[in-house]
């Protein structure tokens, strides 16, 4: 069949062709195969303490992401070889694409810390990205305590960090 009329902004629609094979149309009215609307590539995430990374080095610092329409799926692995001297709140910068701007939106992602972390067993570690943001803020939540910002003191010289998730970005 024919492509439907252009869908709403920031959207990727699927429709069936005459032969029954799926086809896609984006908000600009461009039709094509799934491969023509999906991009997958690497990115380099960086860990910061208090916004800096003085003397910090990594044995592994890799991220991958795929974008389909305005949906971004990402994963990152950071393995410290030296924590450096920066102090303060732990963040991961910079996500490959900014999160959509939606008032009050906060999107959480699970985080795993290994090798030298001072996080108590049973605590939940997670990251959030806020509306329009490209920075992951890291948090520690103990079962019987309030949520606390993850700090440089929660990391050892060789801590391994894994984070993955998906979020909506603006534009297509």
Residue 106: per-residue pLDDT: 87
Encode pLDDT of 111-135 as tens digits. 999 888 999 888 999 999 989 999 9
Least confident range from 26-35, 57-66, 78-87, 128-137: namely 26-35
Average pLDDT value for residue range 12-20: 57
Encode pLDDT of 68-109 as tens digits. 878 899 999 999 999 999 999 999 999 999 999 998 888 899
Q: Regarding predicted confidence, which is higher, 3 or 96?
A: 96
For residue 36, the SS3 value is helix
């Amino acid at each position: 069949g024919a492509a439907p009329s252009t869908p709403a902004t920031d959207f990727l629609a699927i429709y069936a062709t005459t032969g029954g094979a799926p086809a896609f149309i984006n908000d600009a009215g461009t039709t094509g195969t799934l491969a023509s609307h999906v991009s997958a590539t690497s990115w380099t995430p960086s860990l910061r303490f208090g916004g800096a990374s003085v003397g910090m080095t990594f044995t592994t610092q890799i991220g991958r992401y795929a974008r389909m329409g305005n949906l971004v799926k990402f994963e990152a692995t950071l393995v410290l070889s030296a924590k450096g001297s920066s102090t303060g709140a732990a963040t991961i910068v910079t996500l490959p694409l900014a999160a959509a701007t939606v008032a009050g939106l906060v999107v959480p992602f699970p985080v795993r810390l290994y090798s030298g972390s001072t996080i108590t067993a049973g605590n939940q570690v997670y990251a959030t990205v806020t509306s329009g943001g490209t920075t992951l803020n890291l948090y520690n939540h103990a079962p019987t305590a309030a949520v606390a910002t993850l700090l440089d003191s929660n990391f050892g010289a060789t801590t391994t960090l894994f984070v993955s998730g998906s979020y909506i970005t603006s534009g297509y």
